[in-house]
Amino acid sequence: MNAKQLAAEAAVEYVQEGMKVGLGTGSTAYWAIRKLGERVAEGLNITAVATSRASEQQARELGIPLVSFGEIDRLDVTIDGADELDGDLQLIKGGGGALLREKIVAKGSDRMIVIADETKVVRTLGKFPLPVEIVPFAWEWTVADLAKLGCVPELRRDGANLYKSDNGNYIADCRFEIITSAPELALALHSIPGVVEHGLFLGIADMAIVGKNDGSLEVI
């Protein structure tokens, strides 16, 4: 079993009968959804919402019952991956382009469990370029404003085209190398009008389950 699968399957053990579950996005969340599908097939009764079209499709294929946001107020737990996480459970997310939906779902959950392999754990955030979702309107100005925060922003591409999120927005991947104060950066990002949301998840995650290549797990 690889390290991502190990972490994902350990997190799924926290899901209990009757829970409302947020399904993350990415190659680690894939394993969690797969395991949840197995448990549903064995009789576990849960409902779920997905953070991306890809995760929604996977859940449907596995027979995990999905509900709309109008049917529920909150979720019991969300299980999702991360691109970077530090010892204070500050995260960079959005490598898969789903950061806006992921943040809405995680903030609407009583508990967010992060799942990752050990390569994602860092002392200081910033090596992974911070994904920032921006509106297409006047994106050139928004990207210029992002650069003024001290990063090198690059608009994400999808082959010959610009990448579009499930929400129809662009993603600017902002290379900071080191983020000295994530809370200050989060405030500054929100002051830019064209920014829809950024991939800094601060004070949102409750625990992280980290899978290691030697088969062990670490809980942060």
Q: What residue ranges bind ligand 5RP (CB under 6 A)? A: 24-29, 80-83, 93-99, 102
- Two tokens, residue 57: 């499709």
63 annotated ligand binder: no
> Rounded to the nearest whole angstrom, what is the least distance from the CB of residue 70 to ligand 5RP in the complex?
24
Rounded distance between C-alpha atoms, residue 96 and residue 165, angstroms: 9
Give the nearer residue to ligand 5RP in terms of CB position, either 46 or 205.
Answer: 205
Q: Which is nearer to ligand 5RP, 52 or 191 (CB)?
A: 52
Q: Are strands 47-50 and 20-23 parallel, antiparallel or unpaired?
A: parallel
Supply the minimum distance, in Å, between the C-beta of residue 190 and ligand 5RP: 19
Q: Among residues 8 and 15, whose Cβ is nearest to ligand 5RP?
A: 8
Q: How far is the CB of 148 from ligand 5RP (least distance, A)?
A: 25
The burial class, CB within 10 Å (0-12 / 13-18 / 19+), for 169 is buried
Please list the residues that pair with 50 across neighbouring strands: 23
Minimum CB–partner distance for residue 164 and ligand 5RP (Å): 14
Is 94 annotated as contributing to ligand binding?
A: yes
Catalytic residue of the set 102, 133, 140, 177: 102
Told to judge if 102 belongs to the known catalytic residues of this protein, a careful annotator would answer: yes
The answer to the question of whether 25 is labelled as a binding residue is: yes
Does the annotation flag 214 for ligand binding? Answer: no
Based on CB atoms, which residue is closest to ligand 5RP, 96 or 126? 96
27 is in an annotated binding site: yes
Annotated binding site: which residue ranges? 25-28, 80-83, 93-96, 120
* Binding annotation for substrate: 25-28, 80-83, 93-96, 120
List active site positions. Answer: 102
